[in-house]
Structure 1
Amino acid sequence: MTTRTATEQRERARASYDAFLAGCPSRQLLDRISNKWTALILAALGSGGPHRSGEACADGPRPMRYSELARRLAGVSQKMLTQTLRSLERDGLISRTVTPTVPVTVTYELTDLGLSLHHLMRGIKEWADTHMDVVLANGEAYDSRQR
């Protein structure tokens, strides 16, 4: 039996990732990133958010404070936002910076890895925004046929 270095073992495992297989770790990752709050946080951090006037901002990714994210994500609970941010930080998709001010300032920002996923999540969000009327109409048509 040949001995492999850790790098060789990781490369071999990476080549065999297939989310269609039940035991594949990439399936667990898909489960984590397909959460609605994950998608919305990544989209929010990558979009720059609205200006205080409410106008859209085209500045691109920028750090956001916890309170900014909470305001941007209508309906998210404090517990869910905190859990999702911790998970994203653990997976290396966002970074958390604590600035020792009074009170302490904490900001969240996309990492390069998070930015690569942001582009996909932003596209999914935009697709949902654009096609919601059609999806709702299809649902109503389907339901009316089922009666």
Structure 2
Amino acid sequence: MTTGLPNFFEYNLWANLRLLDFCEQLSDEQLDATMTGVFGSIREVLMHLFASEEGYAYSFTKTRPSSPLKEEDSFVGFEELRRRAQLSGKALIDIAKERDLGETFWLDGGVYECQAYIVALQAISHGVDHRSQIATLLAQQGIELPALDAWGYNDALHSKQ
């Protein structure tokens, strides 16, 4: 089996869905807690995370959902976030399998130049960063997030076999 960038996006989708499953069980108070140094509340971080992921997929496909997520919108709920995470996550996996990541992109209305692999790298690092922020918000409340790191992913892969 060949491994590569698609595996990173498979991990990213797994971690995002596991995060949503866990956060769905939290109380409103826990979801709305915030602290200095973190993007916002858990709800705000989740909206930002998945709005951004739709944007990364858009950079490649130039297609958006009929009503794209906007991080400033009201929280859309876990079912809708899960649906969108699956769509953008699967799109990024397919992109990693099929696209030339050496392609040049002009982002931000054509004023920002980068290679496609930079967008892919940003999508992965952005997810890790914000999942860590949610873990910090939860830790401050005495709540431990399940393992969302590579070791947790490996364990999940092996438990399916």
Establish whether TM, by shorter chain, passes 0.5: no
When normalised by structure 1's length, the TM-score is: 0.25
Instruction: Give the structure with higher Rg (CA).
Output: 1
Write 1 or 2 for the structure with the bigger share of strand: 1
